[in-house]
Structure 1
Amino acid sequence: MAKFPVVTLKVGDNPDSPMSTRYPPMTGLTQEQFTHLHDRAYEAMDQGALGEASQHFAELLQHRPDAAHYHYMRGLAHKYLMDWPTALRHNLRAIELGNGKNEAEHWNAAIAATALGQWEQARQLWKACGVRIDEGSGPIDDDFGVAVVRLNPWHGGETVFMRRIDPVRARLLNVPLPESGHRFGDIVLHDGASTGTRFDGDRQVPVFNELERLVPSGFQTFAAFVSCDSPADLKDLLAASAPGIGFAEDWTGSITYYCLRCSYGAPHKHSENADNQWQPERNLGIAAQSRLSVEKLLEDWAAKGAGRSIEGIETRELAAPEPEEGSAWWCGPEDEEDAEEGGA
């Protein structure tokens, strides 16, 4: 399922090799017991049971303290637990034991160092991965292009565009639904491996899983319900500006899996809409510093055109859903295909 180095135990490995999988003498385990523990650790990881996987890899390391692959795997489990000190410690040890040959260990160590704000170490690790990093100090603040992030991938996974400011940190460019617990302008930490692609209007860009929100935005999220007679009216609204407004976008076409107005209790009537027919009722997501900013924006827009009306402004503040064990949410479609075909 997941793409991590699965080591197959076999009798006859060179016991002097740092990657040897032959259990050492005097461990208190038979070969059969050690193999069973090894298998249980990888199975727990496959099933998304991160706490159990960590425990098993810790026990394996008691018997094989210099096994780089077990340090890597325990570090991986703690990356997805968002336990950054432990993830960093085990990935650095895996790098040391593996003589710096495995790029995945460098990437995961760099992600953990970035999450911890250990910038000198993070910069060194990114450079070891072959990533271009400026020669400054402190947080990396560059332009690594636009990509898509799957927010809370363990719970639904709303996707929004983001601008990457370093290899795994990015600023959100869309207005996420309040249910995501995120806001326009949040800085999030995302995983290093993409889980697909999305068309951004010009080209295909990678999709990454979010790991954690690092810096909350100062903007609130408002849902505005308006009505207008034409796409030109809507275009005017989306292009308008007012003090305290960060960004406004039309949620009507992009959020279709439930009636947004019903979810907010906004009074309205459902009307049938044929394909390609203009829908006057529009649901907007607006990032703003205050409700007064939203009211000013909408009132100015409504006053400048016939047939424009404001039907409601609502806001909610919700916490992001916490990860739960039992799902390997970090796996992308390619990983699932590999599993179905018998891949590791």
Structure 2
Amino acid sequence: MTREPGEVAREWQVADEAGDAERVGQLGRELTELLPDSFGAWFEAAMHSKARCEWAEAAERNRRAMALFSDQERQEFEGANPAAWNLGIAATALADWETARWAWAEYGIGTIEPGQGPIDQDFGLTPIRVNPDRPSLRHQVVPGYGDTEVVWCWRRSPAHAVISSVPLPESGHRFRDVVLHDGEPKGEREFGGRQLAVFDELARLQDSGMPTWQAQVVGAETEDVHLLADLAGPAGLGVDNWSGIRVMCSDCSHGSPDAHDHAPAPTDAAMLGLAGSEAELRTCLDTWTAQRPHLTVSELTFLW
């Protein structure tokens, strides 16, 4: 016996509030069958697929929602179709670059041209929270590769980025990992005098496999570390000053980093996080210390 959409919607709301992800998924599917021409039904079903990282289903549902986007919804969302944005994310997760390019254009991003190849444009440096400690979506399957950490990344499209800093091993991420990220700001970080939005990781798309090392340096100033980074960059190596990492409370991490005092403890030695092959890193460090003879570098230690 066919049920009334209102009855199903009420059951969906009860299940949603109760956190019953499986039941929400079942009822969302039922609503799309009862209301096949409803943007709202398909969009909510697609949001559930996105939260559960069911990317093929999310892509299909968002494509259907896009086709049902009416003038009323366009006014509600101020002209931008949110299903197009979520289709771009799902297509990126699936490496369906032709669909991703089309979705971003439909959303209104005019700098991405049609084509079938991977999107690899310079969208600037951005901070991304890997292994988010708070779900950003209802019923979300949150990445759990390790500890939460905000890392700096080269953003290559509206939904994916390459890690440019050297994450701590506890994060389960490496230099040059490729991560899928959401588009809703979750806090901010300062860079170059500007406040940049933090985005949450949705999934890791590629593990770089690049080894992570550490070395302790006595006598290094900020300028010295910048020189090492300049030497390492062209060689494809990673350098990060782990001594400057601020361990923040969750509220500061998701809001303003300066709400509380989370300054790192002062130290005479800098702990550097490094990424790359041992031979290349040793060559880089030797060149660095030859130009900075006042530095004392401890043994290079492999972490993972």
**What range is the shorter-chain TM-score in?**
0.7 to 0.9
> In the alignment, residue 240 of structure 2 is paired with which amino acid?
E
The aligned residue for residue 267 of structure 2 is 279
User: Aligned equivalents of 2:233 and 2:114: distance in 1?
Assistant: 38
Question: What is the Cα deviation at residue 230 of structure 1?
Answer: 5.4
User: Aligned equivalents of 2:221 and 2:58: distance in 1?
Assistant: 53
User: Aligned equivalents of 1:238 and 1:280: distance in 2?
Assistant: 20
Question: What is the Cα deviation at residue 90 of structure 1?
Answer: 1.3
> Is the CA contact 1:243–1:293 (under 8 Å) kept in the aligned structure 2?
no
1:303-314, aligned counterparts within 5 Å? Answer: 308-314=295-301
> Is the CA contact 1:224–1:284 (under 8 Å) kept in the aligned structure 2?
yes
Gaps of 5+ in 2: 75-80, 133-141, 249-262
* Pair 178,240 (structure 1): closer, same or farther in 2 beyond 3 Å: same
User: Aligned equivalents of 1:62 and 1:140: distance in 2?
Assistant: 34
136-145 vs 300-309, which moves further: 300-309
TM-score with structure 1 length normalisation? 0.67
The aligned residue for residue 27 of structure 1 is 2
- Answering whether residue 131 of structure 2 is matched by residue 143 of structure 1, we say no
> Is the CA contact 2:98–2:115 (under 8 Å) kept in the aligned structure 1?
no
Higher helix share: 2
Question: What is the Cα deviation at residue 244 of structure 1?
Answer: 5.5
* Pair 245,114 (structure 1): closer, same or farther in 2 beyond 3 Å: closer
> Is the CA contact 2:165–2:175 (under 8 Å) kept in the aligned structure 1?
yes
User: Aligned equivalents of 1:249 and 1:121: distance in 2?
Assistant: 36
The aligned residue for residue 13 of structure 2 is 39
User: Aligned equivalents of 2:204 and 2:225: distance in 1?
Assistant: 31
Other structure's SS at 1:143 match: coil
Q: Deviations over 1:218-245 (max 9, x none)?
A: 5321122233365565555444449965
* Pair 53,279 (structure 1): closer, same or farther in 2 beyond 3 Å: same
Report the identity percentage: 34
The aligned residue for residue 57 of structure 2 is 86
> In the alignment, residue 139 of structure 1 is paired with which amino acid?
P
* Pair 40,56 (structure 1): closer, same or farther in 2 beyond 3 Å: farther
> In the alignment, residue 286 of structure 1 is paired with which amino acid?
L
User: Aligned equivalents of 1:234 and 1:176: distance in 2?
Assistant: 17
User: Aligned equivalents of 2:264 and 2:70: distance in 1?
Assistant: 59
- Answering whether residue 192 of structure 2 is matched by residue 204 of structure 1, we say no
When Rg is computed on C-alpha atoms for both structures, the one with the higher figure is 1
* Pair 242,27 (structure 1): closer, same or farther in 2 beyond 3 Å: closer
TM-align CA RMSD: 3.1
Question: What is the Cα deviation at residue 105 of structure 1?
Answer: 1.0
The aligned residue for residue 113 of structure 2 is 134
Question: What is the Cα deviation at residue 129 of structure 1?
Answer: 0.5
> Is the CA contact 1:223–1:284 (under 8 Å) kept in the aligned structure 2?
yes
User: Aligned equivalents of 1:276 and 1:151: distance in 2?
Assistant: 20
* Pair 287,40 (structure 1): closer, same or farther in 2 beyond 3 Å: same
> Is the CA contact 2:160–2:179 (under 8 Å) kept in the aligned structure 1?
yes
- Answering whether residue 182 of structure 2 is matched by residue 187 of structure 1, we say no
1:83-162, aligned counterparts within 5 Å? Answer: 83-99=54-70, 101=73, 103-132=81-110, 133-153=112-132, 154=142, 156-162=147-153
Question: What is the Cα deviation at residue 144 of structure 1?
Answer: 1.7
> Is the CA contact 1:247–1:287 (under 8 Å) kept in the aligned structure 2?
yes
User: Aligned equivalents of 1:277 and 1:122: distance in 2?
Assistant: 44
User: Aligned equivalents of 1:198 and 1:176: distance in 2?
Assistant: 16
Other structure's SS at 1:279 match: coil
* Pair 177,65 (structure 1): closer, same or farther in 2 beyond 3 Å: same
Q: Deviations over 1:56-92 (max 9, x none)?
A: 3224334444433222112112212211001111112
Gaps of 5+ in 1: 1-25, 258-274, 318-344
User: Aligned equivalents of 2:155 and 2:198: distance in 1?
Assistant: 12
94-103 vs 198-207, which moves further: 94-103
Q: Deviations over 1:148-171 (max 9, x none)?
A: 111111465311122221111212
* Pair 78,316 (structure 1): closer, same or farther in 2 beyond 3 Å: farther
96-105 vs 168-177, which moves further: 96-105
The aligned residue for residue 165 of structure 2 is 174
The aligned residue for residue 281 of structure 2 is 294
